[in-house]
Amino acid sequence: MKSKYQGIIFIIISAFFFALMNLFVRLSGDLPTMQKAFFRNAVAAVVALVLLLRRPSDFKTAKGNWLSLIVRSVAGVIGIILNFYAIDRLDIADASILNKLSPFFAIVFSFIIMKEKPSLVDRKSVV
Closest by CA to 82, choosing from 115, 27, 16, 34, is: 34
- Confidence check: pLDDT of 16 > 60: yes
Question: d(Cα 115, Cα 103) in Å, to the nearest integer?
Answer: 17
What are the pLDDT digits (tens) for 30-44?
889 999 999 988 998
Mean pLDDT of 64-79: 89
pLDDT on residue 51: 86
Amino acid type, 4: K
Q: Where are the domains of the chain?
A: 3-113
pLDDT on residue 124: 65
The model's confidence at residue 85, banded by pLDDT at 50, 70 and 90, is: very high
